[in-house]
Structure 1
Amino acid sequence: MAVQASGLSKQTVSGWFSQKHPRVPKNPDDLWKLVSIYSSWANERARRPYWEKLLECANAAIIAATPSKALDQRVRDWTDPFALEVHRSISSRERQFDLPSLPAYVRRPHDGLLEDAALEAANGASRISILLGESSTGKTRACWEVLQKIPDSWNLWHPISPSHAEALAVVIDKGIPPRTVLWLNETQLYLDTPASSLGERVAAGLRELLRDPKAGPILILGTMWPKHWGRITRCPAAGGDDRHPQARSLLAGSDILVPSSFLREPLENLKELMKADPRLAEAYKSTKGKKARITQFLAGAPAQMERYLNGPQGARAIVDAAIDLRRFGHAPIIRESLLVEMSSAALDLDELILLGDNWVGESLEYTLTPCKGVSGPLSRVSPILDTAGSDRHYRISDYVEQVGSAARASLLPPSDFPYIVLQNVNELEQLRAIASSLADRGRIFHAAQLYLRASELGDYESGFKLADILDFAKDHVGAIEVVRRHHDAGDPGSAKKLVGYLYESGQIIEVEEICIKEIEHGDARPLVSLREFCDSYDDSATHQHIEGKVLSRKFPDLYSRICSSEDRISNYVQFAIEVSRQLKVSQDEAESLIDAEIEAMMPRLHLINGAMEEEVGELRTATERLHLLVEEGKSDIFHIETVRILQRIEDLQNSGDFAEARNLIDNGLNCGRIGLEVLDVLLSESDSSHLEESALRFGLDWEGDLIGPWALADVRHACHLALGGDE
């Protein structure tokens, strides 16, 4: 009956309970359906985060129990460069040449740096080298070439399944043998896991591996786009979340720049090599005068772009959908159903009718058709965890994504975009990433819906983001409700935030109860956080009162009267006299009670001091990062361009051309380049100051117009409707 009520197939559920070959549920939503039904029958309250944690542990156990045969694979056993994700090259029409799968290699300056690292590893020193460059610049090919210089006795491992980070984390825990090359192509997939701390755990494990002489030698080869490198290594602003301290330390000094174009000496070498390889000759001819972007052409990028730009309407809509999903934070692998819904939303009814009934299949076939020996704008990939009847998955070409994202930077996807994401995306890190992109573009109400969805699926960090948004939108009750739900579900970090929201709403009694309960469990952070809030409101009395009760339930004013006073001896005697009278005991008995309470108080004081030191350390680190960020920003191209746009907006406002200034602001918001505070300034200077606060607190609708006040109830209702609920 439970299986029937859940809507799951008997075959699926029976597989979970098979005696011989039990299978772990692949979809947490399926598991939750069954757990919810059984819990309701048992009249018990089930907690989804608990069950998702069990599922995560079960998957990890299966991975850990699987023999890591790949770790025993010698470097020389890897004979197929495409198995290690080297881009396929363009094909040649010259049939008289018997050409290898890869064009002749043209050495460039970065090859020498990479070879130095490989030589040091071969001589016994663990090394990490990350090739940094734009799409299709030859990063992975350079790693492949240096691999040929690694001693035959070395092994190579390329972790990818069930996910890049999970696979690497498991083997780090098991232990990676010396003389191993870790092939971490697209290194951000191993280090940047927004929905969890797994990436940081991987980074910490790799750091320990590199610095442990007994574990080496190890050679880590990786590649990254500059935008991913910047996101991981950039220091957060003061007070901001630092999501990548371990990854930043791991990557420090490991970057080797791979230029987008060939310089003069490599070009001269290429001219010699192209006599025997017509592919190089075609690349040189086609890119001459265009900054010699040889590797991009060799990877078939121009043909991919031509196929995309000159394709039929349906095919362009599908590729545009993939570009928009990626630039708003979706993972590289995209389900077909999501692509179809996104592209359909971009087409009106007349266009869909003209395209015909089979437009999806025809369009996908067009985008998948190879271009000069490489994939089309899209390529089909197998799902990491294959299931019967599962959706097909696709990945957009790196180069098409990069060029298309730049071309579409100021365009928003169709207005149904946030609702389609709500209906089709359940992965926490993707929901959070897309929500962040929407917030960066001023669409705060839509971002709040995605944060709510992720929060309800068990992502505490998204819940905190939602609470901050609600609090700023003056829905203090809603912010408290969101954080309280996480606190009740057992999240250890929520008490600190809950105390702040409760204090600001005047619920002092509950603040006191939380601080007392948390310190009994060894956590003084809520009390230390309360001090900051009280100080900001010049309310030392409240903090002193609660701190006294936290330290001593018997004598709440003991700490302020004795421990924190200068004249402790006389105050101690006077306090003992008062206790003696109050409890009607002798002076000696009163002193014994006080001494016992002071002794019981000491561990709590140590906890508080430790939490305060931790807080001070975080503030000091944040200040240092802020100074570093300011210095980095002076030469950052994105920052320089943003400053130029802001200056142009200011000039237009000073000249009274508010309409053109608003156009620039709208474009900047749609790009995620500037914030709503710039719009506030414009509104205040154009006699619309009564709407100023509305823009900053509540954001814009999809068309860019100001939106009225909203609260958690409105966010929940909109999310409910998007997920198919009744009005």
Structure 2
Amino acid sequence: MKSILRVLINIAQARKSLPESDQDLYSIEAWEVLWTIAKESPVDNVKHRVGNGTLGLSVDSVNPIELEVHPSIEINTATLNVPPALPLYVIRQHDHRLQAIVTEATKHSSVCVLVGGSSTGKTRACWEAIRSIGKHWRVWHPLAPSRHEALLKALRNRQISPHTILWLNEIQFYLNPSPPELGEEIAAELRELIRDPDRGPVLVIGSCWPEYWDILTVRPGPAKPDLHPQARALLAGHHILVPEEFSEEELWQLNRKASDDQRLEAAAAKGNRRVTQFLAGALELINRYETLPAIARNVIHVMMDVHRFGYKGSISEEFLRDAVQGYVHEDTWAGAKNSWFKKAVKQSRRPCLGVSGPLRLRKEGPNSKATYELADYLDEAGRIIRREEVPPASFWASSAKHLRDVSGLLDLAYEAQIRGRLKYAALVYLKAADCGELEALLSVAEHRRDAGAIDEARKLFRHAADQGLDDAWLYLAQIEKDHGDLGAAARILNEAGDSALAVRIAIYLTDPGQNKGHALRLLERAFELSSKESLADLDLSRYEEELRDLLRQNWESVEEMDKSFGNLRAATENMRTAEKERTEAGDQLIEAIKTSEKSFKWAVDLFLDQAQSGNTDALLMLAKAWHAVGDSEKARNYIMSALNRGHTEMDGSNALSALADLEINEGRPHMAIQIRRYGLEIDGSPASEWGVSIDE
């Protein structure tokens, strides 16, 4: 067989009969692969093995722009013929590693993700690497009805054939959709696909920004749920970092090719190492953004804010129009005409050196409403440019009025909450509840309860309970118990009926120290109803001995439960120890810097460096440091910086609590109470009293 192939290939080479696109057919290895596929494919099953012709296209027939490779800038010159969309390619260090992985994928299934910032050349590098993989390979870019839905359907139905390249650009859209459980199913299915030799070889290739890579691959702390174990297992050890700047060797290669492509020549003439960003128009995008008129620039600010807060749904004209109005100074509005929005959008959409402008229009079909997208590079840059900016009230009001993606609304509400803007968080949480996410009601109700608005909290919890949210009954019962109204708590128990929920409420209300026999009877009933959730409501330190006896009667594997209890106790103890040690270490450091100016400067420099890396805990430590030496103004500034950036929690407290504590230390306890109950206004001042209402 090889001898015949060799003769035929020699004849073809001598006659130069193959076009350039088919040069790989001069290789015996390529013919051997095709022969193997033919032998292993029964005649009646050949169509199935190539994916029924539905998933993907041959590599040489795909337009790289359709794979989301950034088109290049255009160079204005009268003598230049119309150039291809992509400039000549300069091979970089990471390309060698990527090419080796792609070559290896022709033998067995592989995964590779390029990780780097926007416009660093990730997607173009992937495209260049797969071009030589062979004509018999197909590339499939799952997109519709949504990226993750398309991929999950194909994986569930086993529609992905051998010799398929799964093109997962922006891989977070596939592995971290809403809800995250779908992403975990995709990751698990991809792992099965990769390790099954009968379904390969396939190549899973993708790209990702560093911050999304961290979300998918960094193991969470002991107190946080692990949302991405399957994604982490899939991706571990399968990434290549793409630098933002060219090395000296790569710049030399750029200059060698510059004479053959005027776009490369222009990039070389800039004398800037950020070559791919220049070619993608990224630097021009920044220039365009900075020089836009005020209203148009603030339209971009709205887009930056909604993206940096995690909203992934579509952005409508109505949302943009209403949201931007609070961003623009009143003096600017005085000179604006009725067509201000249309003009601002037109200015924001103007192309930059031939590539799309800062704002991009998107339409799914001729009869669909237009939605808007932000250029990738500005999306990434906005996370720095806007990181200490809190959007105005119009942003939150427009979000509650126009946005409908539930997961995105929850993200927006949470971002308002961790910035201490509690009334705006409540506004958006309630919109998420209206869209079907009843858990959002609990977030609002808990805050109103903690703020002392008990009647409001009762109404919210009751509304959630009536809508079918079982946990709301528990909260209602706890409110009545805390206020000493056991009669009302009992009525709530009766409403829940003879069910696992009722047992949970009863356990919730029972004090094991006073009535341990009753508590154990409730537990027995919980086991009868298979209500293992009831265990979550127990104080294990007070129940453990009796609970173990009960478990021996109700659980098949005592050893397994003993191990589970041991793991739970150990994890809890480790978490408490870690929090205690971190708190003590921070307090010791604060005490130490009081004694020495040199120590103080060292600590401040350390915290400033961490804060520059995005660590908001470091900002609170800076506040503690300055307060320790008597500078309350600087302490307040750092606390506000932590709040405006979005501070979650440090050692059980957050930046809003730190601000309230500062007010107490400054002799203003009434201000502290106001801050804890009502949060802050957009400008950082204590919020006035506010409440919420719901439509019954």
* TM-score, length of structure 2 as denominator length: 0.75
Is 2:275 the counterpart of 1:275? no
For residue 146 of structure 1, report the CA deviation from its aligned partner.
1.0
8 Å contact 1:200–1:244 — kept in the other structure? Answer: yes
Is 2:402 the counterpart of 1:424? yes
Please point out which of 713, 716, 719 is paired with 2:693.
716
Please list the CA deviations of residues 277-304 of structure 1 after superposition, one character each: whole Å capped at 9, or x if unmatched. Answer: 221222122243xxx1111111111221
After superposition, residues 400-411 of structure 1 pair within 5 angstroms as: 400-411=378-389
For residue 456 of structure 1, report the CA deviation from its aligned partner.
3.0
Counterpart secondary structure, 2:315 = strand
Is 2:276 the counterpart of 1:295? yes
Is 2:104 the counterpart of 1:120? yes
Is 2:661 the counterpart of 1:654? no
Query: Hey, what's the Cα distance between the residues in 1 that align with 2:441 and 2:689?
Result: 20
Is 2:66 the counterpart of 1:86? no
For residue 431 of structure 1, report the CA deviation from its aligned partner.
0.5
For residue 160 of structure 1, report the CA deviation from its aligned partner.
1.4
Is 2:350 the counterpart of 1:369? yes
Paired letter, 2:692: V
8 Å contact 1:110–1:258 — kept in the other structure? Answer: yes
8 Å contact 1:500–1:529 — kept in the other structure? Answer: no
8 Å contact 2:141–2:168 — kept in the other structure? Answer: yes
Query: Hey, what's the Cα distance between the residues in 2 that align with 1:281 and 1:311?
Result: 28
Is 2:216 the counterpart of 1:226? no
For residue 348 of structure 1, report the CA deviation from its aligned partner.
5.0
8 Å contact 1:502–1:511 — kept in the other structure? Answer: no
Query: Hey, what's the Cα distance between the residues in 2 that align with 1:627 and 1:212?
Result: 43
Is 2:114 the counterpart of 1:131? yes
After superposition, residues 432-581 of structure 1 pair within 5 angstroms as: 432-474=410-452, 482=460, 489-490=467-468, 507=489, 510=492, 517-518=499-500, 526=504, 530=508, 543-550=519-526
Counterpart secondary structure, 1:256 = strand
Counterpart secondary structure, 2:197 = coil
Paired letter, 2:148: A
Please point out which of 703, 709, 717 is paired with 2:683.
703
Change (3 A) 1:623 1:434: farther
Query: Hey, what's the Cα distance between the residues in 2 that align with 1:606 and 1:510?
Result: 34
Please list the CA deviations of residues 138-178 of structure 1 after superposition, one character each: whole Å capped at 9, or x if unmatched. Answer: 11111111111222212221111222122222212111222
Change (3 A) 1:121 1:463: farther
Counterpart secondary structure, 2:86 = coil
Query: Hey, what's the Cα distance between the residues in 1 that align with 2:435 and 2:637?
Result: 38
Aligned residues: CA RMSD: 4.1
For residue 93 of structure 1, report the CA deviation from its aligned partner.
3.1
Change (3 A) 1:209 1:257: same
Paired letter, 1:518: A
For residue 116 of structure 1, report the CA deviation from its aligned partner.
2.5
Please point out which of 121, 133, 141 is paired with 1:158.
141
Match of 1:326 in 2: 307
Please list the CA deviations of residues 588-633 of structure 1 after superposition, one character each: whole Å capped at 9, or x if unmatched. Answer: xxxxxxxxxx9xx9996569998997787677678889999999x9
Query: Hey, what's the Cα distance between the residues in 1 that align with 2:684 and 2:516?
Result: 44
Change (3 A) 1:549 1:235: same
Query: Hey, what's the Cα distance between the residues in 1 that align with 2:517 and 2:668?
Result: 41
Unmatched runs of 5 consecutive residues or more in structure 2: 1-50, 530-544, 583-605, 649-654
8 Å contact 2:476–2:492 — kept in the other structure? Answer: no
Change (3 A) 1:691 1:139: same
Query: Hey, what's the Cα distance between the residues in 2 that align with 1:230 and 1:627?
Result: 26
Change (3 A) 1:605 1:666: same
8 Å contact 2:322–2:394 — kept in the other structure? Answer: no
Change (3 A) 1:636 1:185: farther
Match of 2:41 in 1: none
Counterpart secondary structure, 1:182 = strand
Query: Hey, what's the Cα distance between the residues in 1 that align with 2:478 and 2:100?
Result: 53
After superposition, residues 597-612 of structure 1 pair within 5 angstroms as: 605=555
Match of 2:599 in 1: none
8 Å contact 1:519–1:550 — kept in the other structure? Answer: no
Counterpart secondary structure, 2:70 = coil
Change (3 A) 1:489 1:540: same
Is 2:668 the counterpart of 1:688? yes
Please point out which of 645, 651, 658 is paired with 1:671.
645
Is 2:339 the counterpart of 1:358? yes
Paired letter, 2:175: L
Counterpart secondary structure, 2:206 = strand
Counterpart secondary structure, 2:255 = helix
8 Å contact 1:194–1:432 — kept in the other structure? Answer: no
Paired letter, 2:522: I
8 Å contact 1:326–1:332 — kept in the other structure? Answer: no
Counterpart secondary structure, 2:204 = strand
8 Å contact 2:413–2:424 — kept in the other structure? Answer: yes
Paired letter, 2:630: G
Paired letter, 1:695: I
RCO higher in structure (CA 8 A, sep ≥6): 1
Query: Hey, what's the Cα distance between the residues in 1 that align with 2:99 and 2:515?
Result: 62
Please list the CA deviations of residues 11-30 of structure 1 after superposition, one character each: whole Å capped at 9, or x if unmatched. Answer: xxxxxxxxxxxxxxxxxxxx
8 Å contact 2:619–2:641 — kept in the other structure? Answer: no
Change (3 A) 1:502 1:89: farther
Paired letter, 1:715: V
Counterpart secondary structure, 1:355 = coil
Paired letter, 1:394: Y
Counterpart secondary structure, 1:715 = coil
Paired letter, 1:282: A
Counterpart secondary structure, 1:275 = helix
Match of 2:175 in 1: 191
Please point out which of 211, 225, 230 is paired with 1:246.
230
Q: Percent identity?
A: 30
Query: Hey, what's the Cα distance between the residues in 2 that align with 1:208 and 1:227?
Result: 26
Change (3 A) 1:270 1:153: same
Is 2:393 the counterpart of 1:415? yes
Query: Hey, what's the Cα distance between the residues in 2 that align with 1:90 and 1:143?
Result: 20
Query: Hey, what's the Cα distance between the residues in 1 that align with 2:105 and 2:460?
Result: 50
